[in-house]
Chain A
Amino acid sequence: MTRNSLLRKTVVVAGCAAFVGAVDVGIGMAASINANVSATVVSPIQISKVSDLSFGMFAIGAGGSLAIDTAGVLTPTGVTVVTSPHSAAEFTVTGQSGAGYAITLPAAVTLASGANNITVNTFTVNNGAGSGLTSTLTSGTDTLIIGATAMTPSGTSTGEYSGTLTVAVEYN
């Protein structure tokens, strides 16, 4: 009587344990899947100089300024051009075909001749996209032409002035 009762309870417990075991097997199976992972490293952007920015030779006279535009045209204001060899700065930019890039120019460059200085500013840009500070590397290359204005007030000392214009380009 009492033994029978205990025996049945034991059967119930064993039945539960067996089914729990079956469920564990079902959820214990691991499933794996792969996702492709990709990254594209593009060619670094590079810039090289084709020609320097040159204002040529001029006489100060009443003083003023001397501008050279991106077409290489010289415009004197209050100064007199003596010889005409002059050029806008030109650069070649290369990198990832079709990628856009940004151009960074200084606000001003100082040209020095001994202790005397001339300030060059008001830089202008011509590139494959137009005249702004952004352009596109169509076919992986672009031409950058930069004009500027040299400030030559009355009293500017005679001499041969030189300085460095640094142009930076970066993908955008």
Chain B
Amino acid sequence: MSGREIRMSVVVKPAAAPIIAVLLLWAPASVSAAPTAVTKTQDLQFGQIACDSGVSGSVTIDTTGSRMVSGSVKPLGSAYAPAQFVITGNVGQTYTLTLPTEFPVTSVGAAMTVTSLSASIGSTGVIPASGSLQFVVGGTLLVNGAQQSGAYSGSLTVTVK
């Protein structure tokens, strides 16, 4: 009897040690797992453009903040910018960034479409040691032929999880 008891205790001790170690590793992670959040720090502005009647074109704001035009579009002024956001969350957490495929901007005239959205960071990644990750989003505005003059606006929705 006593011989069996001794053997049992020898087996149990090493098994108990890993249990404690595992609990210590995982418990902090589960307690502090705040949701990953995203905030906007700058709107997407294509700025002022002019276009010849009857000829379509486009204006692109890239992730470096440059503005390029094609077709009949003539860029005016210097007020333009990519959208800018900040992801915050737990260091080391993986995030997934989702951008829309396209969305409209509207005014009194025919709607225009914003497409080819791109971000300065990958669609998946890890939140760095600082706990936050800034990124910008650019896109291409498709301008119709004979686009009516006016102030056009729309909404870019980015999702992070």
Contact = CB atoms under 8 A, between A and B. Distances in A.
A34 B85 CA distance: 10
Contacts of A33: 38-40, 85, 157-158
Interface in B118-153: 137, 141, 143, 147-153
Which residue, of A30, A31, A44, has the highest number of chain B Cβ atoms within 10 A?
A31
Interface in A25-51: 25-45
Interface of A: 1, 4-5, 8-9, 11-12, 15-16, 19-20, 22-23, 25-45, 95-96, 99, 170-171
Prevailing SS type, chain B contact patch: strand
A31 B160 CA distance: 5
**What are the 8 closest A-B residue pairs judged by CB atoms, nearest first?**
A26-B33, A30-B161, A19-B26, A39-B46, A35-B83, A22-B30, A29-B35, A36-B43
Given A20-B26, A41-B148, A28 B19 contact: no
Nearest to A1: B8
B91 interface: no
Given A29-B161, A39-B112, A44 B53 contact: yes
B143 A41 contact: yes
Contacts of A23: 26, 29-30, 33
B152 A38 contact: yes
A32 B160 CA distance: 6
Contacts of B33: 22-23, 25-27
B23 interface: yes
B51 A34 contact: no
Contacts, number: 170
A27 B112 CA distance: 36
B155 A42 contact: no
Given A1-B4, A8-B15, A37-B45, 6 more contacts: A16-B26, A29-B36, A37-B155, A39-B49, A39-B59, A42-B49
- In this complex, the interface size class of chain B, counting residues with CB under 8 Å from chain A, is 35 or more
Prevailing SS type, chain A contact patch: mixed
Contacts of A96: 48, 50, 76, 149
Contacts of A35: 40, 42-44, 83, 85, 137, 155-156, 158
19 contacts: A15-B22, A19-B30, A31-B37, A34-B156, A35-B42, A36-B156, A37-B46, A37-B103, A37-B114, A38-B43, A38-B45, A39-B151, A40-B47, A40-B49, A41-B49, A41-B109, A42-B76, A96-B50, A99-B50
A51 B8 CA distance: 113
A31 B37 CA distance: 6
A41 B111 CA distance: 12
A4 B11 CA distance: 9
B40 A27 contact: no
B94 interface: yes
